[in-house]
């Protein structure tokens, strides 16, 4: 059997493999075909078909021996921010071109240990800075969706836009993403799929190219909530190599998907009602409330008073950390080296960094260096850190009263590729609903919940208290079932 293999969910593929309906090699071949078919989307920076087939055959051999890990034989795409041993890892940047890490990130290693098969490395905004995938050195990624009656290419969101486009287009049943301020959830919403950011510390950051270390978290991008639960379990876990990863056991997230949310309290934050939000998004949010209420949850109005400061504070903290993290790209240790006129070492640093970093990355480094400089540190960086504490306190207060918070994921649906590039503030506003949870380190998920008037997907966003991923998945599962989102994008592999 090969028909329909790329349309299977991860859970469906897992069941098919277990029943012997098909092999991992067949499943992998079907997805490698889909990768080729959807190549015009430019969702991948590197396809790794040989490695994929080798891993798939090894998986089939293990299964024949009666061994099967949690992701046994399941093909997965990997955001090009995760170091993969011997496979080029670029972070979407020219400066890392040709860099093949001598080590494997903990998250990807965990997935391979559980039997997963790597399809390739997905495209992304340079160093995960962006909301449109336009900042990738390896070219823009197209959203597989089109607005009704239009053939205009749309942004897949960012920074995990390649992962989201690949999963939506059925080139991969699941992918890894990373989320610093919204980079898993926003592209998932734009592409009509599920994107989940775990609690800060749930997944190891070791071997993930660092953007803003106090915010970066890895998480799954899938087509269903169930699949998200499957993948997160394999990705997560304590790692002695990352001192910020929590030494806590990883629960069985699938078991949390009971479908029963009776008695749970769902908070609706007044501050997320933003002026200018399109009617379709406001209406969907209302529908989301009704769905959860109908399932037996109690809807509670809450306040998160410091919400409006989250985005400005994020754009101080994230660039500050980025300017420090990106200091390591100097032409000596990784990837690109430009010697300039070859006069001295400083000349080489400058030539390498000047040629290797794109405009958005340079902007962040400049802002970061500025807010950390001696004269401005107290005025900007320290103040932003204080605001961050207040945001976390808002959530702590709210979670004294509610079990989860429901908001829209994004203030708009997918916009045309290339738009907002000359207006960084408009681009930054994409994350207005996702950044607060990032600043507080909380788990959050975007679930595809409806279409706007142009037939483009919209997501609903749930936030839970720290390490309450089980509650998050449980509520998300109910939301998903109620929404019954079955629409398919324009570009999807034929299966």
User: Which residues are near ligand GLN by CB under 6 A?
Assistant: 128-131, 159, 179-183, 211, 318, 431
Q: Where are the alpha helices (DSSP H) in 252-356?
A: 279-294, 310-325, 345-356
Nearer to ligand GLN by Cβ, of 6 and 186: the residue is 186
**Nearest distance from residue 369's CB to ligand GLN, in Å?**
16
Nearer to ligand GLN by Cβ, of 58 and 392: the residue is 392
State the catalytic residues. Answer: 79, 159, 183
Nearer to ligand GLN by Cβ, of 179 and 239: the residue is 179
Q: What angle do CA 19, 24, 28 make, to 5 degrees?
A: 135
Q: Which two tokens stand for residue 106?
A: 């903990």
Nearer to ligand GLN by Cβ, of 195 and 450: the residue is 195
**Nearest distance from residue 76's CB to ligand GLN, in Å?**
20
**Nearest distance from residue 45's CB to ligand GLN, in Å?**
16
**Nearest distance from residue 182's CB to ligand GLN, in Å?**
5
Q: In 3D, which of 84, 271, 75, 91 has the Cα closest to residue 173?
A: 75
- Taking CB atoms, the residue at the shortest distance from ligand GLN is 183
* Separation CA 335–CA 352 (nearest Å): 10
**Nearest distance from residue 425's CB to ligand GLN, in Å?**
12
Task: Give the strand pairing for 298-302 and 265-269.
Answer: parallel
E strand residue ranges, 107-170: 117-122
Which residue pairs, CB below 8 angstroms and at least 24 apart, start in 63-71? 63/17, 63/24, 68/17, 68/18, 68/115, 69/113, 69/114, 69/115, 69/116, 69/234, 70/114, 70/115, 70/230, 70/233, 70/234, 71/10, 71/111, 71/114, 71/115, 71/116, 71/230, 71/231, 71/234
Is 119 in contact with 154 (CB distance < 8 Å)? Answer: no
Is 37 in contact with 81 (CB distance < 8 Å)? Answer: no
Q: What angle do CA 207, 209, 214 make, to 5 degrees?
A: 95
Nearer to ligand GLN by Cβ, of 35 and 81: the residue is 81
* Separation CA 166–CA 152 (nearest Å): 19
**Nearest distance from residue 143's CB to ligand GLN, in Å?**
16
Nearer to ligand GLN by Cβ, of 71 and 184: the residue is 184
**Nearest distance from residue 107's CB to ligand GLN, in Å?**
15
* Separation CA 361–CA 358 (nearest Å): 6
**Nearest distance from residue 337's CB to ligand GLN, in Å?**
26
Nearer to ligand GLN by Cβ, of 7 and 431: the residue is 431
* Separation CA 409–CA 102 (nearest Å): 37
| Other beta carbons less than 10 A from residue 486's beta carbon | 7
* Separation CA 22–CA 244 (nearest Å): 40
Maximum pairwise Cα distance, the chain:
71
Nearer to ligand GLN by Cβ, of 32 and 129: the residue is 129
């Amino acid at each position: 059997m090969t028909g329909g293999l790329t349309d299977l969910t991860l859970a469906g593929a897992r069941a098919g493999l277990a029943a012997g309906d098909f092999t991992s090699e067949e499943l992998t071949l079907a997805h490698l075909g889909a990768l080729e078919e959807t190549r015009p989307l430019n969702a991948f920076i590197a396809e790794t078909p040989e490695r994929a087939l080798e891993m798939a055959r090894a998986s089939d051999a293990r299964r024949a021996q009666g061994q099967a890990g949690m992701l046994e034989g399941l093909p997965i795409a990997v955001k090009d921010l995760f170091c993969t041993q011997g496979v080029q890892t670029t972070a979407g940047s020219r400066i890392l071109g040709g860099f093949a890490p001598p080590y494997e990130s903990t998250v990807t290693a965990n997935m391979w240990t559980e039997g997963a098969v790597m399809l390739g490395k997905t495209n992304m905004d340079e160093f995960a800075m962006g909301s449109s995938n336009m900042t990738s050195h390896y070219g823009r990624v197209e959203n597989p969706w089109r607005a009704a009656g239009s053939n205009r290419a749309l942004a897949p969101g960012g920074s995990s836009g390649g992962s989201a486009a690949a999963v939506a287009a059925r080139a991969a049943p699941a992918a890894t993403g990373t989320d610093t301020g919204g980079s898993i959830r926003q592209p998932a919403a734009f592409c009509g799929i599920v994107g989940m950011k775990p609690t800060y510390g749930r997944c190891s950051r070791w071997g993930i190219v660092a953007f803003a270390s106090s915010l970066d978290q890895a998480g799954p991008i899938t087509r269903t909530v169930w699949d998200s639960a499957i993948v997160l379990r394999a990705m997560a876990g304590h790692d002695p190599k990352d001192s910020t990863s929590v030494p806590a056991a990883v629960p069985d997230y699938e078991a949390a998907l009971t479908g029963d949310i009776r008695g749970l309290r769902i908070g609706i934050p007044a501050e997320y009602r933003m002026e200018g939000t399109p009617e379709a998004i406001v209406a969907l949010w209302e529908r989301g409330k009704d769905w959860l209420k109908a399932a037996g949850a109690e809807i509670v109005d809450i306040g998160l008073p410091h919400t409006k400061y989250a985005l400005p504070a994020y754009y101080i903290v994230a660039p500050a950390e980025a300017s420090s993290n990106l200091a390591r790209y100097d032409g000596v240790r990784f990837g690109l080296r430009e010697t300039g006129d070859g006069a001295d070492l400083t000349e080489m640093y400058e030539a390498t960094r000047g040629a290797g970093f794109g405009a958005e990355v340079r902007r962040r480094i400049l802002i970061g260096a500025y807010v950390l400089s001696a004269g401005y540190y107290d005025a900007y960086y320290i103040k932003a850190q204080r605001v961050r504490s207040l945001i976390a306190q808002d959530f702590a207060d709210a979670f004294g009263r509610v079990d989860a918070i429901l908001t829209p994921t994004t203030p708009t649906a997918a916009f045309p590729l290339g738009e907002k590039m000359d207006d960084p503030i408009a681009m930054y506003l994409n994350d207005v609903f996702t950044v607060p949870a990032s600043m507080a380190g909380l788990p959050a998920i975007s679930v595809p919940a409806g279409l706007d008037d142009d037939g483009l997907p919209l997501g609903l966003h749930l936030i839970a208290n720290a390490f309450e991923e089980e509650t998050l998945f449980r509520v998300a599962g109910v939301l998903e079932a109620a929404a019954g989102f079955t629409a398919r994008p324009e570009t999807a592999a034929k299966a």
